[in-house]
Structures are given as structure tokens and as C-alpha cells.
């Protein structure tokens, strides 16, 4: 009888400890300052990929990152600044473009396009705006793929100009991640 009572007591203590641990983790997550993107909370304690997979507005980007074998890279230490195009941004591409890019034989081109949306380092919108002001209205950045993106202000929003002349506007800024920051953009930017 004592054995059953002792076992039940140990089980109860273990259960309470586990519940307390889960509660503490939940409370810690709830205390994080999150930004909602695509209907989901983006947690600063999670990496770029862990957050992006939860955004219903970025399913195309996530699929492209997987097709380009860039998941491991974007889960890396970083820090990275990612200009993350929405599904609507991908829909602006000419018909059939995305389907062609995700084919295995076009992996290098897809990698080049996706890494053109990434800067090394953590560049908040405030830092980008400061660079724009110091650059007399423009700031030029070298992307991870080696190309350049030019940032400027239009109607109090950061706008990116690609090497090919295409433009994208930052629609949601400063979505902090454990390995950098995401800025949601409304168009794809393409290198030359």
C-alpha cells in the first residue's frame, strides 16, 4: 500500500513540475514582443525559417527556399536581413516563371534570386533610414548574392530599387528573429 502511495506522490510531483515548466515556457513566449505576419505571431526567439513557415502570406517564399536548398543557411547563426516577398509579390511574376525557377535544373538561378533578397548583418528600418539620410536620399547595399540593392524613402516607407530597375516597398518592418530581421516586401526584386 505504501508503495502505491509513494508512486502516486512521485507521479504527482513530476506532473506538477512538468506543468510548471510548460507554464514557464508558455509565459516566456507570451512575454516576447511579437509581430503578426500572415496571421501568425513571429517570435524573436525563433529563427527566420521557424517563423516564416507559419506565415500564410509566405508559403511561396518558403517553398522556394526549400527548392533552392537554403533552409539550413537561413536557420544559421547569421545575422541576416531578409526582404521577404509575399505570395502576392510572387504572383506578379510573369506566368510560369516560378514553376520554371523551382525545377532542379534552375536551382542556381533560384538561389541567386533568393539570396539577392538577403543582406549580411541585422539592418533595422531605423538603420536603413539613417543610411538613406546620410547618403543624400539613397543607400546602396551589397546582397548575399553579390548584387546591389538601393534603398530610398517614398511616402515615409522604405522602397528598394533592384539592379534591373524593379521596385519593392517594405510593408511590414522589423520582424525580429533570433538570427536577424525580416522586412516584408510587396514585390520581387531581381538582380541584373
For residue 21, pLDDT over 50 is answered with: no
| pLDDT tens per residue across span 140-189 | 999 999 999 999 999 999 999 999 999 999 999 999 999 999 999 999 99
* 117 neighbors 80 (Cβ within 8 angstroms): no
Residue 192: per-residue pLDDT: 86
Confidence at residue 30, expressed as pLDDT on a 0 to 100 scale: 54
Give 112's pLDDT tier (boundaries 50, 70, 90).
very high
Q: What's the residue count for the chain?
A: 192
- Helices and strands in the chain, H and E counts: 8, 9
Here the cell at position 77 is 547563426
- State the pLDDT at residue 67: 93
List, for residues 27-52, the tens digit of each pLDDT value.
444 578 899 999 899 999 999 999 99
Report the C-alpha gap between 152 and 147 in whole angstroms.
17
Is the pLDDT confidence value at 117 over 90?
yes
Predicted pLDDT of residue 118 = 97
Give me the pLDDT at residue 31, please.
Answer: 76
pLDDT at 5 over 70: no
- The DSSP 8-state label assigned to residue 24 in this structure reads H
Which pLDDT tens digit goes with each residue over 47-68?
Answer: 999 999 999 999 999 999 999 9
- Among the residue ranges 8-17, 37-46, 98-107, 113-122, the one predicted with the least confidence is 8-17
pTM over 0.85: no
* pLDDT tens-place string over residues 66-105: 999 999 999 999 999 999 999 999 999 999 999 999 999 9
pLDDT of residue 140: 97
Which residue, 153, 151, 149, is CA-closest to 189? 149
**How sure is the predictor about 133, in pLDDT bands with cuts at 50, 70 and 90?**
very high
Amino acid at each position: 500500500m505504501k508503495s502505491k502511495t509513494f508512486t502516486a506522490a512521485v507521479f504527482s510531483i513530476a506532473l506538477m513540475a512538468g506543468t510548471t515548466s510548460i507554464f514557464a515556457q508558455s509565459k516566456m513566449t507570451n512575454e516576447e514582443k511579437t509581430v503578426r505576419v500572415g496571421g501568425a505571431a513571429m517570435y524573436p526567439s525563433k529563427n527566420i525559417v521557424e517563423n516564416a513557415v507559419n506565415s500564410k502570406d509566405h508559403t511561396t517564399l518558403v517553398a522556394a527556399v526549400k527548392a533552392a536548398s537554403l533552409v539550413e543557411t537561413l536557420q544559421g547563426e547569421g545575422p541576416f536581413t531578409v526582404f521577404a516577398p509575399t505570395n502576392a509579390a510572387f504572383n506578379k511574376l510573369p506566368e510560369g516563371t516560378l514553376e520554371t525557377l523551382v525545377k532542379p535544373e534552375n536551382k542556381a538561378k533560384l538561389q541567386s534570386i533568393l539570396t539577392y533578397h538577403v543582406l549580411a548583418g541585422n539592418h533595422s528600418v531605423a538603420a536603413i533610414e539613417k543610411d538613406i539620410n546620410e547618403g543624400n536620399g539613397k543607400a546602396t547595399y551589397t546582397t548575399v548574392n553579390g548584387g546591389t540593392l538601393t534603398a530610398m524613402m517614398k511616402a515615409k516607407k522604405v522602397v528598394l530599387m533592384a539592379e534591373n530597375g524593379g521596385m519593392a516597398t517594405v510593408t511590414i518592418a522589423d520582424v525580429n528573429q533570433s538570427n536577424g530581421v525580416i522586412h516584408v516586401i510587396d514585390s520581387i526584386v531581381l538582380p541584373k
